[in-house]
A = this chain, B = another copy of it.
């Protein structure tokens, strides 16, 4: 997955210390693949996945819209050239003063999942569009979502009715099938739930217009994942099945699926050792770990492909850990990671598929280590 442009950059620039290199050509390809797979859907890039200004500018210029999690992300998207009407404030948890600030900036589309949030929006963002997030079970996702966001569909009806009664535009329903979702049927059940909310409110004269189908589109790590085209096909079929010939506006919010495979982290082997003379598992310590950008290895959830100059030679299982004095800073231990026997201290390794959820997750200065640097080329 390390493109030739990334390999050339690393070979010529030789950056010292761990760093992420992102290839914008891959991001552009991903954007076009989503456009082609779901031609009727608007693409709202999930800024939180990687807010590098170069990525935001590229996507803004290609016509992307943006899903944002905070006022800072709204401002980043606008700085990159996105007009306010192409930005959604997609976090269901917002301070009232942040809603007011976003409204001042021109934002008119907000996520909610309870009447309490609707009331904040009604107070400081009159007539704004709101969509209500419904809970899904996230089955089949490698990074399943908890119940943190969304409410049951029956409550979504109450929430949207309340929005309407307060003068807001009860605009639609959203869901998220779980990050790194590889089960193509996941969207079917959620779209069925969404349709029921549409139908119930239609009976009361409230005509919803939009379904926000969230993210969940995967990056290829160690296993193959379905293509964007396959996702598009499944989603289109589910939309037709549930909405017939009255398919609403739809939004998708790819984050990982847009940038995950565009980035590679270059890291260095700091130490290889054993814990006792007869230990059959080596410990390999890198100069990046869970607190330096690889937070998604939490519970060994995401298993990144790692390449070395020794690939193709004999391997043996290793525990892979980060460089900090924190014992939780271990990436893969329950399921050791096979690494070449000839790997040595000082070797460079490439951690692939790391374009999403790495730089901004990284700790500000834990153990004195600086946050992950990024080069967007």
Chain A positions within 8 Å of B, measured between CB atoms, are 46-48, 51, 68-73, 76, 90-96, 113-117, 120, 135, 143-152, 154-155, 158, 179, 268, 270-277, 283, 285, 287, 291, 295, 298, 321, 323-330, 333, 345-346, 359-371
Contact = CB atoms under 8 A, between A and B. Distances in A.
B273 A94 contact: no
A38 to B, nearest CB: 21
A333 to B, nearest CB: 7
Q: How many copies of this chain does the complex contain?
A: 2
A366 B93 CA distance: 15
A364 B366 contact: no
Q: Which of A144, A272, A323 has the most CB of B within 10 A?
A: A323
A77 to B, nearest CB: 10
17 contacts: A48-B326, A72-B368, A72-B370, A90-B325, A91-B367, A92-B271, A95-B270, A96-B345, A113-B273, A115-B273, A148-B327, A151-B274, A151-B275, A155-B277, A179-B327, A360-B363, A360-B367
Given A48-B366, A362-B363, 16 more contacts: A69-B368, A72-B365, A72-B370, A91-B367, A94-B270, A95-B287, A135-B275, A144-B327, A146-B327, A147-B275, A152-B275, A152-B276, A154-B276, A158-B277, A298-B328, A363-B363
A135 B371 CA distance: 29
A330 B370 CA distance: 25
Contact of A48 (B70, B90, B275, B325): B325
* The 3 residue pairs across chains A and B that have the minimum distance between CB atoms: A72-B368, A114-B273, A70-B368
A93 B271 contact: yes
A91 B148 contact: no
A316 to B, nearest CB: 16
A327 B92 CA distance: 12
A327 B149 contact: yes
A240 to B, nearest CB: 29
Nearest to A363: B361
A366 B70 CA distance: 10
A368 B71 contact: yes
A346 B120 CA distance: 11
Contact of A277 (B154, B295, B364): B154
